[in-house]
Structure 1
């Protein structure tokens, strides 16, 4: 063992004369005395000789550092521990200046137990001086603190893990209640919540003092819950409000368990407190939002409904029951089919399936069974709500009773059909009169033929507007409409229609027909179509879901150029294009002719 190697006689046998320290007999008395003291001590000690710091250590140092450092006797400390040379040099130099130093929990990388490891030490460097203050060496006291450092680190880590666990669970503090003394101790977080200092919380406070912070309406509930736990040992759980020193109200939830002594008596309660203020505020806000939402939904005169991603209806407002008289929770696919008019069901089913599959807006009119036993017309509209991944999560829709508007529409259709019948008869009557007149006056035959063609074109234009013309069996287009309206005026091929064509939606046909008719009649009265030499060109362009028209008249009559454009026709164009069609237009009159530009959404 190294111990036998560093007994006083071994130190005396060492060839100190070959070192900077010189023979032992020449060492100063403080140095020799310190060496004897260190070698005989049971505590790890070493003497560092001279500024070079030659090592004389006892057996306890050997056991502390291990066999790897057994040959350190008489060697400079900087050579034995090269990684800490600068640290040792600075401490030795301070000692030779008469200044000792100590270091707590100093880490050191060392080879021990067959591997490199980090250990921590308490190290004290003390100058060894004679009565004149002359320093000849350093007394080194060493004690290992690795165990306490690691224990402290584990405790700190455990505390951090506890803090993380408390935070993750929404727990803001821990407490202990001494049942006999009615004294509560707590951590800093609990103390802060209840307006106490951390030291006060650790020292403890009478529980009755804390009870005064509890909301007056909740004190009895807290007191009864604590008493029940102390009496029976059941877990303590209580939700209550406290009033802070700033006058704020905060919601808390306490949870605790009883701790019994050897006899089974309950001596302590241990628990945690959770601050529920934000959660309660969120719950109140959610409840208020739901109340306002349901109030709004129930005030809407339409049936409001929703369906899940599988198209299963899962919500209806009260209008559903008022309309159908049925319990919506008992609806299934078979029930839906019975509620929709048999003639409408195939169309409804197909359209709903297409929208569910594609996510397109759902908009359809069909007849639905009323609680009276009669079918009533509904307009049903719905839109999908998509999640962050773009997938449809739900459908929200409304069903509006349009029975009365449908009845009015049918009434209007009947009147329009009757009017159409009479207009058709008028056209036939006028055409017959023209034919008879032409037979009586052969000279007017050419005029009568032109007049009949114009009359026939006017009739076709009227049928186009009414949706009776053959073009309505296919797609309606803006150019087809323009040709139908202008055909009565194009007896010499002087009207040119060109450019892009676009299919018209039903609601655009009539207002556009009025616009074309107004422009054509104005041209026939005052513009290019009023003279034999005039010409008219219509150029259509389509872009960004809009249709643009350039209406250009050449060889316009002078009276058209003098018109101020402020009459009924201008008002009709403004009302139709800007207000009804949500478009815009402009007119320009020059000596060369008239230019009309229009842009409408299509």
Structure 2
């Protein structure tokens, strides 16, 4: 069936429906620009009803600044009949402005009369807002880049510079002809140039961003450190169209980093030279770093000491107290601990004093703790020894004062007059002083042998041990206990005093023989035997100096057995005196030297 031939009667209603319901604004203007027909979309766009618009002309709804272009466009269309478009602003009733694109076509008039204009108006509000947002974003980006970057420039897809960058040339002093292509590399420091070239070419090949740091020449001379960042710009097909680059001046940061490295190097050198074990910590004893001294002493590697690994080096009995001090340190603002740390080389623990202070921010918050552990083991030992020495000094002083009192009383009882008392008392005090001198050597970690005690006492009385009439013999390495020195020295003093005044050393022809040795008794106990024998003495001429009583004999026969469990015998012979003293080795000899003394017999 053939298609029905369209007629004006059939088309007109349809065109009218399209006109009325179109989504864009449609209107017909007469030759003077007055509205003849308007659709609903245009009414909505301009904010007016169709009745109102048909009383107005296009001049009444156009922004004043856009009137002239609108009139020129209508005149041109009326003249040549060519369709034209114009982006312009329309004024709404509420005073607001709306951007729109109006496309105008000339319609022929009936019977050759004046033509009218068909206007298609499209709302550009959203497009304009997007453009303004993009422009604002571009402005912000440019402002941000200008605030950050020293210079910006572009390169083509091959990475070659093809257009000018005044900021780059101002920075480097290069002329345009010098820096196009890859001439910008000439402005890079010679030591960094190969690195910069490699970074750039690797990025081009991989089509990835560049983020490199190198030195770029300054137009005024010298070089500045730059962080050079470049990114590819790709099209819809993923092809690189160009590269955009910005250079950020990081000279200040580099100087700060260099200063920090120098400072850390100085600190490391200082810390390495300290005798203390230095460390850093956070969060109640959580270590973050330990110095080489800590590793050298404890044997802990840095990974083992961080966190709470350092506790492994602390004596098990001190660990709980050490952690408790860290809890207190948060409140007190200072850490002080005395604990024992193990030395793996010797296998023993040494006492250390650990002290730390907090590093605080301006607001007072603790950032970290800096601490050091100082070896105080020797100091503690000295304090303990000092306490023992003070106690020993007090003990000795009390004993010495008591002994002086006894000597004074005994001397007074055996003296004929005051002069005799003074002489005897002075001699005995001298002997006592010599004993104290020997005791002081023990305090200096020296030793005193029986041989030395006897020789010094004989010398104090003017008796030469190597004289023809004097014989002194016995092992030279019998080391005496300090508590045995005083009674033995006083006994030898009394014997020597009598020998000088009345005995072998006070008479012509007299002889003195002193001998000592070590021997075991039948019960296996070792004894030190001392034999003092004076002979060739005329007892009658001695004037009664040798007697059956007196302080010397009292000391030998009573004091030595009481103080040293000695066995003594004091015998007056026809031509002199024989004194025999036997002392248990456990009372008079140093334990460590007993065996050595026994072998020397």
What range is the shorter-chain TM-score in? Answer: 0.3 to 0.5
Give the TM-score taking structure 1 as reference length: 0.43
Give the TM-score taking structure 2 as reference length: 0.43
